[in-house]
A and B are shown apart, each in its own frame.
Chain A
Amino acid sequence: QSALTQPASVSGSPGQSITISCTGTSSDIGDYNSVSWYQQHPGKAPKLMIYDVRNRPSGISNRFSGSKSGNTASLTISGLQAEDEADYYCSSYTNFNTWVFGGGTKLTVL
């Protein structure tokens, strides 16, 4: 049950787009379309942003989009806003009937 691999940090200026990658294995991301992404602001509970690779829950801005290729999933945030500054985590169901998270990526809006 090794954690999924995410970059520790990414940054971008307001209005720009950024992409966060999430690399797993053929036992998790590569085997299921059950990848999800979470946003977490300091001191708050995580919030679901993307589920099933590319679907947005009701109320989530269409500036957030997800994709997957092989064992790697990606989260793209377009039109960066100051309020997007947060930690982002990917997660995937695995073929051990468990879930696994990535190590998290700190997004800084310059």
Chain B
Amino acid sequence: EVQLLESGGGLVQPGGSLRLSCGASGFTFSNYAMNWVRQAPGKGLEWVSVIRGGGSYTYYADSVKGRFTISRDNAKDTLYLQMNSLRADDTAIYYCAKTTQWRGAFDYWGQGALVTVSS
């Protein structure tokens, strides 16, 4: 059974940093691209970032480019999102999501981690 479990969410001040983790199990982690998708309170889904299975290629939404860094440790089956220079509009539930294949759909999602940016 595929499982994704996010951790690391919490309250952070504007301008601060936070690192999210997503532990994966039930599939060969290194074979699949992994994503972060976020959802602000009461709002829709927003794709944030993707990293290919080998970790060499990463892509970002314009809203987070230059501030967020996605990475992975295939030996630990873990996905990360380093978030710097956080702003109030980064407040959201952050989901990690597995991609079926490159250009594919998000077939498995974690339960989400809440990040609140507030003073």
Contact = CB atoms under 8 A, between A and B. Distances in A.
Interface residues of A, number: 27
B46 A101 contact: yes
Interface in B85-119: 95, 100, 103-112
Contacts of B57: 97
Given A34-B103, A51-B104, A46 B95 contact: yes
Nearest to A46: B109
Interface string A82-110: 00000101010100111111111000000
B70 interface: no
B109 A1 contact: no
A48 B107 contact: yes
Given A36-B105, A36-B106, A48-B105, A98 B59 contact: yes
B105 A3 contact: no
Contacts of B108: 48
Contacts of B35: 99
A89 B104 contact: no
Contacts of B1: none
B61 interface: yes
Interface in B39-72: 44-47, 50, 57, 59-62
**Interface size for chain B: under 10, 10 to 19, 20 to 34, or 35 or more residues?**
20 to 34
Contacts of B107: 48, 51, 57
A34 B104 contact: yes
B61 A52 contact: no
B61 A98 contact: yes
Given A1-B61, A45-B111, A91 B105 contact: yes
Contacts of B61: 1, 98
A64 B44 CA distance: 21
Interface of A: 1, 3, 32, 34, 36, 38, 40, 45-48, 51-52, 57, 87, 89, 91, 93, 96-104
Given A32-B103, A101-B47, 17 more contacts: A34-B104, A46-B37, A46-B109, A47-B109, A51-B107, A52-B105, A89-B45, A91-B47, A91-B105, A93-B103, A93-B104, A101-B44, A101-B45, A101-B46, A103-B44, A104-B44, A104-B45
